[in-house]
Amino acid sequence: MVFFIPMTDRNNSTTPVSQPPAAPRLVTVDAESAERRLDNFLMGHLKGLPRSRIYRIIRTGEVRVNKGRVKPAYRIKEGDVVRIPPVWGLREGSEHTISQSRASWVAENILYEDSSLLVLNKPSGLAVHGGSGVSLGAIELLRAARPDNRYMELVHRLDRATSGCLLIAKKRSSLRRLHEAFREGKVRKIYHALLLGQWAGGKREVALPLVTDHRQGGERHVRPGEDGKPALTRFYPEKLFKDAVLVRVELLTGRTHQIRVHSAAIGYPVAGDERYGGGRPAPAGLKRLFLHASSLTFNHPDDGRKIEFESPLESSLNGVLNKLAV
C-alpha cells in the first residue's frame, strides 16, 4: 500500500545549495558509476568545486575509499564505499540557490516517505543528480525540500528521460541494506515502455551482456558485447498496435540503459529514444522517451516487511496510447 505524505512549508524562502552537510557522507558505488576515475566521480558529487581542490582533499586523505587513501586516478568499483567530507565553497563565486517553489515542486512528487526512505515519482527530464552539464537534479532538490534531514542519498538511478519510481535512503544503514537487496536481486523492478515495430509472439527474454563506452565529455554509450556485464530483461506485451506495442518490462539486472539497448537489439527500440532508436520517428504527440518505472517491490530495511510502490503512466503517455488505438 502506498501512503501519500502531505507537503508543508510553501513559503518563498530559498535554500542555498552551497551549504555543506554537517558530517561526511558515505556513498556506495553503484554499477553505473563503476570504473569511473575517483576525481571525476567527486566532481559530480561536489558540484562547482574546483578540480584543484578535489585533488587536495584526496591528497590530504579527507576523501577515502573503503577507509583507505587512494589516488585521483583510482578507478572506483561497484560496492566501494567513498567517504566524501563536508566541503565549504561549493559553487564558489556564485549566488546559485534553490527556490522554495522548486523544492516544493519536487516534494509534491513524493509517493512515500518515512524516517528511513523516500520514494519519488521522478518526472521525465529531471536528472537524478547534478553533474555532466546538469546544474541540479532530484537529489539536490529533495535535500533542499528536506533541510532538516542530515542524510539523503540515491539508492539507484533512472535515466534523465525516464520517469517513475526512484528510491532514496534517509539513513546510512538503510542505504547499505537497500544496496545489498539490489545486488542480491531482491528488489523487483517493473517498467512500462512503448516499443516500435510489429510484435510477434508473447513474452521475450533477452540475455545480452552489455559494454559501457565512456566517450569524451562524460557521455556514455552502451552496446551488447561478449566482454560486457551480464544483463537480463523480460518483455511482456500488454497492448498491441499497428506498428508498436506497450510492454511490461521486468528488469532482472540494473545495467546502464539496459532496457533501451536490449529492446533495440531485438529490433524493437523504445519510442522516442534518440540515442538507440535508429532514427525511427516517434508516434504522434510523443515528446519524450516512452519509458516509465512503474513499480518497486522490496523488503523494508528496518523491519523486513514487504512493500510495493506504484506510479501510473502520466496523462501525456496515455494520450499517445489513445491516439495509437484509433
Where do the domains of the chain lie? 1-16+98-185, 18-95, 188-325
pLDDT of residue 139: 87
CATH number of 188-325: 3.30.2350.10
Architecture per CATH, domain 18-95, reads as Roll (3.10)
Q: How far is CA 211 from the centre of its chain?
A: 19
In whole angstroms, what is the distance from residue 66 CA to residue 177 CA? Answer: 17
pLDDT of residue 326: 75
pLDDT of residue 92: 39
Cell of 213: 563506452
| 1-16+98-185 under CATH 3.30.2350.10, yes or no | yes
Write the pLDDT tens digit of every residue in 61-71.
999 999 999 99
pLDDT of residue 5: 32
At position 20, the amino acid (one-letter code) is: P
Q: Is 148 a catalytic residue?
A: no
User: What is the DSSP code string of 7-43?
Assistant: P---SS-EEETTPPPSS-EEEE--TTTTT-BHHHHHH
The runs of H, that is alpha helices, within 184-288 are: 258-265
pLDDT along the chain (326 residues), means of 10: 34 44 80 81 79 89 94 91 80 51 86 96 90 71 83 90 96 90 94 97 96 69 92 97 97 94 97 94 95 97 95 95 91
Using alpha carbons, select from 64, 131, 123 the residue that is nearest to residue 91: 131
Identify the helix (H) or strand (E) that includes residue 319. helix 315-325
DSSP 68: B
Active-site choice (39, 80, 114, 159): 159
Residues counted in the chain: 326
pLDDT of residue 168: 95
Q: What percent of the chain has pLDDT over 90?
A: 60
Cell of 174: 538503510
Q: Are 161 and 196 in contact (CB under 8 A)?
A: no
Q: Are 167 and 156 in contact (CB under 8 A)?
A: yes
pLDDT of residue 206: 97
Cell of 217: 565529455
pLDDT of residue 21: 52
pLDDT of residue 106: 87
Q: Do 188-325 and 1-16+98-185 have the same topology in CATH?
A: yes
- pTM for this entry: 0.74
In whole angstroms, what is the distance from residue 304 CA to residue 299 CA? Answer: 5
pLDDT of residue 313: 95
Using alpha carbons, select from 164, 115, 133 the residue that is nearest to residue 301: 115
